[in-house]
Amino acid sequence: MQKEIDMLDVQKIREDFPILKREVNGKPLVYFDNAATSQTPQVVIDAIVDYYSNYNANIHRGVHTLSQEATDAYEIARKKVQNHFNAKHTHEIILTSGTTHSINIVATGFTNLLAKGDEIIVSALEHHSNIVPWQMLCERTGAILKVIPMNEEGELLMDVYDQLLSDKTKLVFTNHISNALGTINPIEEIIQKAHNVGAAVLIDGAQSCPHIKPDVQELGVDFYVASAHKLCGPTGVGLLYGKEEWLNKLPPYQGGGEMIDQVTFEKTTYAGLPHKFEAGTPNICGGIAFGVALDYMNNIGFDTIADYENELLDYGTKKLLEIEGLKIYGTSKNKTSVISFNIDTIHPYDIGSIVDKLGVAVRTGHHCAQPIMDFYKIPGTIRASFSFYNTKEEIDILVEAVKKAKMMLG
């Protein structure tokens, strides 16, 4: 493992990210809010500039050269996404505005596939975007929402999951990794057990994809969703992977151009996959840049990234726990490079505000995962989330900033 970590030249990688050269409040930027959005390498920025500078045109509709060039680049990006996630077919990749959009396509599509009394299961570790759409689905259909509970370590109680499953279960959805705690959920087991009772499974991969390279065919998952901006790509673009048979069952999410076959005032027929779910003009340059971002991360290597980030997690955990009164939430042995913590009774917002003055960017609050905070009976946490372009020296800066904040507020 150590040899592989040594292959990652962090200082060289940091040169790829222009924002890491800037200062905040007169201090060098230390960016530890990667779970909210990753930073963007120059090669991705260049791809966006190149699109608008050289072949900005709408796709799929034009016979002129610019339109054909833009269409080719966009569809090449879709192919890159297919290859990255190992989908069986390119048309199983729907390019969306992000994870939330992707989840809502599925949740809305199931409206006519559920009956009153059917059951759907969510985990206690979810982001609001993987809770609220399903609650809305239950309101429309009369289906019943059940929750896999969690323990103090931030792990799902899988024995309770076994009890929740039945022939009434139609859908199961959970995140691959918790954005608030960093817990890596046992999705292979979750998927297999759901399939044993005939239920479909959606996995929210927004937090896992920066750290893990999922193989959707190996997982056997029915739907997998993610966002480009967690993967060194731009905001406003993401993906919905769905098995072909499931995507064919779901109706279009929106009506408009691009998603049609034939339109008359009497009747409209819809296009095949993937266009059925891609109404209107998409984020063309975002899709193209998403493909470039995947190339960039794959060139580094996800195994190398995971090993290095685990080293940062171990180091950061050890250093932060040396601070008296500091408590980490989410202590699963199987977790990724997220440390969510509080200090005594000091409000997390106050800590976050002070460390920002020292150039350190962390996230504070409930992280769109309010049920987790309610479980721990806290208003929120301070979350430091690390990426492959971060360093141990930056963690040392964070630790000193937190100590200073504690001294000022204690």
Q: What is the CATH number of domain 46-298?
A: 3.40.640.10
Distance between CA atoms of 349 and 118, rounded to whole angstroms?
41
| Strands (E) located in 80-199 | 93-96, 119-123, 144-148, 169-175
* CATH level 3 topology of 2-38+301-409: Aspartate Aminotransferase, domain 1 (3.90.1150)
Identify whether 368 is a catalytic site residue: yes
Residues of the chain with CATH 3.90.1150.10: 2-38+301-409
Catalytic residue (choose from 138, 209, 285, 368)? 368
pLDDT score for 3: 43
Per-residue pLDDT of the chain (410 residues; tens, 9 = 90+): 344 445 689 999 999 999 999 999 999 999 999 999 999 999 999 999 999 999 999 999 788 999 999 999 999 999 999 999 999 999 999 999 999 999 999 999 999 999 999 999 999 999 999 999 999 999 999 999 999 999 999 999 999 999 999 999 999 999 999 999 999 999 999 999 999 999 999 999 999 999 999 999 999 999 999 999 999 999 999 999 999 999 999 999 888 878 877 888 888 887 889 999 998 999 999 999 999 999 999 999 999 999 999 999 999 999 999 999 999 999 999 999 999 999 999 999 999 999 999 999 999 999 999 999 999 999 999 999 999 999 999 999 999 999 999 999 97
Cis peptide upstream of residue 274 (ω within 30 degrees of 0): yes
Q: Dump the DSSP string for 276-344.
A: GG--S---HHHHHHHHHHHHHHHHH-HHHHHHHHHHHHHHHHHHHHTSTTEEEE---SSB-SEEEEEET
3-state class (DSSP) for residue 181: coil
The DSSP symbol for 391 reads -
Strand-pairing partners, residue 166, are none
- Print burial letters for 109-141: b (CB count within 10 Å at least 16), e (below 16): bbeebbeeebbbbbbbbbbebbbbbbeebbeeb
Residues of the chain with CATH 3.40.640.10: 46-298
CA 61 from chain centre, in angstroms, equals 31
User: 185: part of which helix (H) or strand (E)?
Assistant: none
pLDDT score for 2: 42
User: 376: part of which helix (H) or strand (E)?
Assistant: helix 370-376
Nearest to 32 by CA among 361, 318, 316, 359: 361
- Could you report how far apart the first and last alpha carbons of the chain are, in Å? 41
pLDDT score for 263: 80
Specify the length of the chain in residues.
410
Q: What is the pTM assigned to this prediction?
A: 0.95
Distance between CA atoms of 228 and 338, rounded to whole angstroms?
19
- Tokens describing residue 129: 């975007």
Distance between CA atoms of 14 and 344, rounded to whole angstroms?
34
| Strands (E) located in 321-405 | 326-329, 338-343, 360-361, 363-365, 381-385
Q: How many CB atoms lie within 10 A of CB 18?
A: 12
